[in-house]
Structure 1
Amino acid sequence: MSVIQVYSEIGPLKQVLLKRPGAEVENMTPESMNQLLFDDIPYLKSIQKEHDAFAQLLQAEGVEVLYLEELVAQAITTSEQQQDFLDLFLQESGIAKGYLYEGLKEYLVSFNTTEMLQKLMAGVRQEEVGLTLAGASLSEMLKIQESPFYLAPLPSLYFPRDILACIGTGISIHPMSFEARKRESLFVSYLYEHHPLFADKKTPLWFDRDLPGSLEGGDILVLSAEVVAVGISQRTKPQAIELLAQRLFAQGDFTKVLAIKIPPQRAMMHLDTVFTMVDVDKFTIHPEILSTSGHLDIYVLEPQGENLKITREEDLRKVLKEALKLAELTLIPTGGGDRIAAAREQWNDGSNTLALAPGKVVTYDRNHVSNKQLREAGVQVLEIASGELSRGRGGPRCMSQPFWRERL
């Protein structure tokens, strides 16, 4: 029996994966923010308080909360596994075997597994390790002078939605688009290979991090037990979508993938930053993804023998109604459709909702116009504080990866 069950975006949520922000968010400087994909530096004490409140809200609603950092620690049970994981992580960090490699490894194995993982996530500063340049090669000397870190921090880890996706009874582990995030999915890969949750190997692996093309979970929405939507975005490429579709179709549950093209912009980095499902017939949408005539590029992928049948469409309403067998549906615009409010609240993830059940969602409190629109559409809205969480450009959906939803 699989430990994963996600056949919709809105089925009652029972188990979810989070990553509590750690020292990695404060191991940024103004000079490194852009490279690390941030626009500002969160205040650690406050962002942890907000994230804890988010977790407590979920638990109060009957959701079991799992933490990425704890699960990965549980997957590393021997010194051999600790050594193995370190080898993988250092290699993926671009550190060739030699003086620096051995020095870092010696430093990191001095910690217990939990502390080691926290160090890898937070980043390792040069002054922590105490290596001298005396034994370094020329390339190592140059690398040491490039940054105050031997290992750069991973501040985007509190958005675990992107590094994996749970689809049906399987998972998809992702080759991330930007260098700053590529190492993040290594934690999930090791979890899948070694944690007791996945020991029986009955959980299908739809996509793996060594496959071609970039793919990120914020672009993947499970709309029903038969239909998956995937954004063609700044971070997810068509080649990866086609491969994912072929693998899903081969398994048999899913019969349609909607590839939805969105503008390749920072403010619209994933499909779930502009479009989420909040009820069986209700969706949030950022108006700016539509053309002046109200259309956008949609490619409907369906199985055709061993190949794919691809049909281009432009009418989102029509495609959704046909795919989900709906007589009618409601699109709830970010910021109420007001040009200024929509742009402001889109920047703060006004469209990024996490459904706890049909018609019941978690949102950021700062997006008051969008939240009012949701309530007027009959959706129950649970707000969380977002003064620091929103600085990472990701909302409640981005911060969570459901492992189990009840089937509708």
Structure 2
Amino acid sequence: MIRQSNSQIGVHSEIGKLRKVFLHSPGHEVELMTPRNASELLYNDIIYFKNIVAGHSQLKSVLSLVSTVLEVSDCLEDVLENEEARNKLLDKILEFQGCPELKSELFALPASELTRALVTGVPLKRNTLESLLSPKTYSIVPLPNMYFMRDTSMVVGNRVIASRMASSVRFAESLIMRTIYEYHPELKGYGLLLDASKEIKDPHFTIEGGDILVINEDLLLVGISERTTPKALDTLVDALLKARNEEKKTEPFNVLCVILPRERSTIHLDMIFTVANKEQAVVYSPYVLGRERARVVRIRVKPDGDKKFKEVEDLILGLRSVGVRMDPIPCGGDDPLHQQREQWNSGANLFSFAPGKVISYIHEHTLRACESAGFKIMSAKDAVKHPTLLQSNYPLIVTVEGSELSRGGGGPRCMTCPVLRDPV
């Protein structure tokens, strides 16, 4: 039973009807990438700005029809009006970037200008010999990954996880989201479940939202990947246990840990598995069901802290072992070639805005597989023209143009951070 509360945040499943969601519309920070720094900034290539803006605009238009969309920059500007929030955030970012001398200059900026500076960066001033000879371009680096909202924070139950990013180029994003959740008046919850953003100096402690799927109140799926470490997961399990005891929950809970291969296309669990309906998920079959399937370890945790670890045969059977049926829909269909190509371009990375209502990139063979599983397909443009169709009783996939967005390394789930969902 999901506890009702006055919390303004709450995510107890992957598919509950969406009420609030964070987005960050890509801006000038994306245009600051060059062929030289693209790889360092975690991109496969530099991307064409106008096309990603158009694709992201489709995503935002659809989500605005079914939920309240919170733009990160707007929320950041709101909290930077608070002197305490401004002071704490600047101290953390400037300490990490190694430029505390900028504090007085930045602190004096209006909230709108400071928001812009934190997102698009502050160029290095060449006013000393050291700075003149420095290979750095920025004192505060731009944040071109910011539109991948999923990774830097997440809501689990009525609490927040502030991520500790695997790459230092994304640390500031997590600090920004941590500050927004702490100070924004529309994001009241039960506080932090895990503040991993403070673990900056521990290379064995990283955790990102793309690796965490909330199946129900008593079950999480967590990817152990190049972005999320076993040490962080152990800490998360302990934090969950403490939070549940505080909330007087007396049932055991389970965590299914999926050990992902260290590959560019599998940086997070949601690149091979996303939930589309109450009993349906889009999966990358080779790593979920095939001979190369990822190892899966089930952790069962009792209220007294007793933990039992058991390896299960695969993710689908692991879900069944804890009472969850999930029929797989193959990303790319049944052809291994199409599976590889479409998974590489985030074909398994879908975002649910209600049970059986999902947003996907346009991947021909994945969409055919979804149609065979009972889904109807509609373009984002048609959804905007005929919004009542989004309330239909049949399973529906809304497609957005993602050929350019996917080159950044993520799909619709990567670009969204749900804040509030209805119970299922």
Q: Verify same fold: TM over 0.5.
A: yes
SS at match of 1:155: coil
Q: Tell me the distance in 2 between the aligned counterparts of 1:152 and 1:248.
A: 34
Q: Deviation at 1:170?
A: 1.0
Counterpart of 1:363 (choices 360, 365, 368) is 360
Q: Deviation at 1:207?
A: 3.9
Q: Which residue of 2 aligns with 1:334?
A: 331
Q: Tell me if the contact between 1:295 and 1:315 (Cα under 8 Å) persists in the aligned partners.
A: yes
Letter in structure 2 aligned against 1:270: H
Alignment size in residue pairs: 388
Give per-residue Cα distances to partners, 1:132-177, cap 9 Å, x unaligned.
Answer: 22xx6x4x555xx212222221111101100111111111111111
Q: Which residue of 2 aligns with 1:197?
A: 186
Q: Which residue of 2 aligns with 1:121?
A: 119
SS at match of 1:183: helix
1:1-400 alignment runs, 5 A limit: 1-60=6-65, 62-79=66-83, 81-95=85-99, 97=100, 101=101, 104-109=102-107, 111-126=109-124, 129=125, 131-133=126-128, 138=130, 140=131, 142=133, 145-198=134-187, 202-211=190-199, 213-252=205-244, 255-290=253-288, 292-293=290-291, 295-304=293-302, 305-326=304-325, 329-365=326-362, 367-379=363-375, 380-400=396-416
Q: Tell me the distance in 2 between the aligned counterparts of 1:263 and 1:291.
A: 14
Q: Tell me the distance in 2 between the aligned counterparts of 1:294 and 1:235.
A: 20
Letter in structure 1 aligned against 2:197: R
Runs of 4+ in structure 1 over 6 Å off: none
Q: Cα–Cα, structure 1 residues 85 and 335, in superposed 2: closer, same or farther, change >3 Å?
A: same
Give per-residue Cα distances to partners, 1:68-125, cap 9 Å, x unaligned.
Answer: 1111211122456434432221111133x4xxx2xx4455345321221122211222
Q: Tell me the distance in 1 between the aligned counterparts of 2:193 and 2:314.
A: 32
SS at match of 1:25: helix
SS at match of 2:241: helix
Letter in structure 2 aligned against 1:321: R
Q: Deviation at 1:8?
A: 0.7
Q: Tell me the distance in 1 between the aligned counterparts of 2:374 and 2:315.
A: 22
Q: Cα–Cα, structure 1 residues 206 and 106, in superposed 2: closer, same or farther, change >3 Å?
A: closer
Q: Deviation at 1:295?
A: 4.3
SS at match of 1:158: coil
Q: Tell me the distance in 2 between the aligned counterparts of 1:2 and 1:113.
A: 27
Q: Which residue of 1 aligns with 2:384?
A: none
* Ranges in structure 2 where 5+ consecutive residues have no aligned partner: 1-5, 376-395
Q: Which residue of 1 aligns with 2:388?
A: none
Q: Tell me the distance in 1 between the aligned counterparts of 2:84 and 2:181.
A: 17
Moved more, 150-159 or 284-293: 284-293
Letter in structure 2 aligned against 1:370: T
Q: Tell me the distance in 2 between the aligned counterparts of 1:58 and 1:81.
A: 29
Q: Tell me the distance in 2 between the aligned counterparts of 1:121 and 1:93.
A: 14
Q: Tell me the distance in 2 between the aligned counterparts of 1:247 and 1:279.
A: 28
Letter in structure 2 aligned against 1:334: C
Q: Deviation at 1:240?
A: 0.7
Letter in structure 1 aligned against 2:115: L
Q: Tell me the distance in 2 between the aligned counterparts of 1:387 and 1:264.
A: 24
Q: Deviation at 1:187?
A: 0.3
**Alpha-carbon RMSD:** 2.1
Letter in structure 1 aligned against 2:217: A
Q: Cα–Cα, structure 1 residues 175 and 53, in superposed 2: closer, same or farther, change >3 Å?
A: same
Q: Deviation at 1:273?
A: 0.6
The normalised TM-score by structure 2 is: 0.86
Letter in structure 2 aligned against 1:202: Y
Q: Deviation at 1:184?
A: 1.1
Q: Tell me if the contact between 2:285 and 2:330 (Cα under 8 Å) persists in the aligned partners.
A: yes
